[in-house]
């Protein structure tokens, strides 16, 4: 009896302490602290509650893979803090970590990091869609095409840049932008939206890849409005000569590009594979620019929201969010409840740390745990129900 009373007392004290803490937070104890001098978003955004995936099937008809280039866990938390604690990131229940080491470097670049995810092989830094011996390796985009699915790539960089390139091209070096552009014509990709017009139209070899794309049935759009007005089946939207600008200047691009791609790809009854990249999270971190970083994170999170809203309605779509590596050795040193983020960086380059993986939909449970980045490819192949 005495023991029971002590236990009860401990329990009451414990609960009391917990409720005081919870109360403090709710009453804005932290908000009442002196506001933290940091960076905040110009506009916070609404986040729709996505209902939990309750379906029974383990195979997915569609996969939407969203890659935040250079996006580590602290970058995600900066995004959460900046939107005052509410983001699409927090709606995922299946969360894991990917280890990003490449074949020849403990700290990867986006080419080897992208190829690990797209094709399941560890390759050397700088290599695009080839293994460490330089041999071309089949990507998830190509496998999806072979199986009759539609495919798409969206990026806030040039579409020939390392991350999107690693899904569609096979080149020894990420710098071979013109050669990477030519590889787009060797596939049956349905939609691509990003920058990089010059690698198709103003090439060193003088070839006119734009008319080649037109011959293959693509509508070419050199601006976002034309891309958004498109109603057909094959779209090549090269809306900047080289790279799109940073979030403060380019404005709304990633969200409508994601929506338009889903609209085009979803016409295929056999399903689709779409990769969407928040390319400039990496560049903001290279620049140690917290202000751009939270802007790019908000932009990327809203694109995740579009993918999740589609997946919730569709019921046959697996949404995966991850990164190729971490950039900046970033920390959220402080912040407050009003969306202020005080960031600090330990590097101007990439770091070796593992990066988060978030998954929603059929097969999402498979993405839990800590594993090599190459596993992401095999997990996607498995989720599609393809033979390895």
Q: Going by DSSP bridges, is the β-strand pair 191-195/235-240 parallel, antiparallel, or unpaired? A: parallel
Instruction: Establish whether 127 is a catalytic residue.
Output: no
Binding of Mg ion by 69 (CB under 5 A): yes
Interface with Zn ion, residue 282, by CB under 5 A:
yes
Residue 131: count other Cβ atoms within 10 Å of its Cβ. Answer: 18
CB 129 to Zn ion: min, Å: 18
CA 111, 113, 115, 118 dihedral sign is negative
Residue 163: name its binding partner from Zn ion, Mg ion, none (Cβ under 5 to 8 Å by kind): Mg ion
Mark the segment that binds Zn ion (CB under 5 A) among 9-17, 73-81, 223-231, 277-285. 277-285
Which of 123, 151, 158, 279 contacts Mg ion by CB under 5 A?
Answer: 279
Of 114, 78, 67, which is closest to residue 343 (Cα–Cα)? 78
Tell me the C-alpha to C-alpha distance, in Å, between residue 33 and each of 29, 294, 353. Answer: 7, 22, 32
CB contact burial 12-36 (16+ within 10 A = b; e otherwise) = eeeeeeeeeeeeeeeeeeeeeeeeb
The interface mask with Mg ion, positions 87-126, x = CB under 5 A, is -----------------------x----------------
* 326 lies in the binding site for Zn ion (CB under 5 A): no
* 233/272 Cα distance (integer angstroms): 13
Only segment of 10-18, 37-45, 71-79, 280-288 that touches Zn ion (CB under 5 A): 280-288
Q: Which is nearer to Zn ion, 131 or 282 (CB)?
A: 282
The stretch near Zn ion (CB under 5 A) out of 77-85, 153-161, 210-218, 278-286 is 278-286
Q: How far is the CB of 324 from Mg ion (least distance, A)?
A: 7
Of 102, 110, 261, 340, catalytic: 110
Single out the segment in contact with Mg ion by CB under 5 A; choices: 5-13, 63-71, 268-276, 327-335.
63-71
Shortest Cβ 328–Mg ion spacing (Å): 14
If binding means CB under 5 A, how many residues of this protein chain bind Mg ion?
4
Least distance to Zn ion, CB of residue 246, Å: 14
Distances (CA, A) of 129 to 84, 331, 377, 382: 39, 32, 13, 20
Residue 160 and residue 258: Cα distance in Å, rounded? 18
Name the minimum Å distance from CB 283 to Zn ion: 7
Closer to Zn ion by CB, 182 or 326: give it.
Answer: 326
What span, in angstroms and rounded, lies between the C-alpha atoms of 164 and 247?
Answer: 19
CB of residue 69 to Mg ion, shortest distance in Å: 4
H helical segments located in the chain: 2-26, 29-32, 73-82, 110-119, 140-146, 162-168, 177-184, 198-201, 209-215, 224-229, 247-250, 254-265, 280-286, 290-314, 374-384
Residue in the shown chain whose Cβ atom is closest to Zn ion: 282
Total number of residues that touch Zn ion (CB under 5 A):
1
Active-site annotation, residues: 110
Tell me which residues touch Mg ion (CB under 5 A).
Answer: 69, 110, 163, 279
Contact positions vs Zn ion (CB under 5 A): 282
């Amino acid at each position: 009896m005495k023991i029971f009373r002590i236990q009860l007392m401990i329990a009451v004290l414990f609960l009391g302490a917990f409720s005081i803490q919870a109360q403090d937070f709710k009453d804005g104890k932290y908000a009442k602290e002196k506001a933290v001098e940091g960076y905040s978003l110009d506009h916070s955004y609404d986040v729709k509650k996505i209902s939990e995936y309750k379906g029974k099937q383990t195979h997915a008809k569609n996969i939407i893979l969203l890659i935040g280039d250079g996006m580590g866990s602290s970058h995600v938390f900066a995004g959460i803090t900046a939107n005052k604690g509410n983001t699409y990131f927090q709606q995922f229940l299946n969360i894991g970590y990917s280890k990003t080491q490449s074949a020849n470097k403990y700290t990867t670049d986006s080419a080897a990091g992208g190829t690990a995810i797209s094709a399941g092989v560890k390759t050397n830094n700088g290599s695009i869609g080839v293994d460490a011996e330089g041999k071309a390796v089949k990507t998830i985009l190509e496998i999806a095409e072979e199986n009759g699915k539609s495919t798409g790539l969206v990026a806030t960089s040039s579409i020939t840049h390392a991350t999107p390139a690693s899904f569609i091209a096979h080149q020894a070096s990420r710098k071979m932008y013109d050669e990477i552009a030519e590889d787009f014509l060797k596939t049956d990709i349905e939609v691509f939206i990003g920058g990089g017009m010059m690698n198709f139209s103003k090439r060193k070899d003088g070839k006119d890849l734009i008319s080649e794309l037109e011959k293959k049935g693509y509508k070419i759009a050199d601006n976002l409005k034309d891309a958004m007005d498109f109603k057909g089946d094959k779209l090549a939207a090269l809306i900047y000569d080289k790279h799109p600008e940073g979030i403060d200047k380019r404005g709304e691009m990633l969200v409508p590009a994601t929506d338009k791609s889903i609209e085009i790809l979803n016409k295929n009854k056999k399903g689709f594979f779409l990769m969407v990249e928040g390319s400039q999270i990496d560049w903001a971190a290279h620049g140690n620019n917290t202000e751009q970083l939270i802007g790019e994170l908000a932009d990327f999170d809203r694109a995740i929201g579009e993918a999740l809203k589609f997946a919730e309605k569709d019921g046959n779509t697996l949404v995966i969010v991850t990164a190729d590596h971490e950039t900046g050795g970033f920390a959220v040193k402080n912040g407050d409840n009003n969306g202020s983020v005080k960031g600090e960086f330990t590097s101007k380059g990439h770091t070796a740390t593992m990066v988060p993986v978030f998954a929603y939909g059929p097969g999402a449970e498979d993405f839990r745990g800590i594993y090599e980045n190459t596993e992401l490819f095999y997990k996607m192949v498995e989720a599609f129900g393809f033979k390895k």
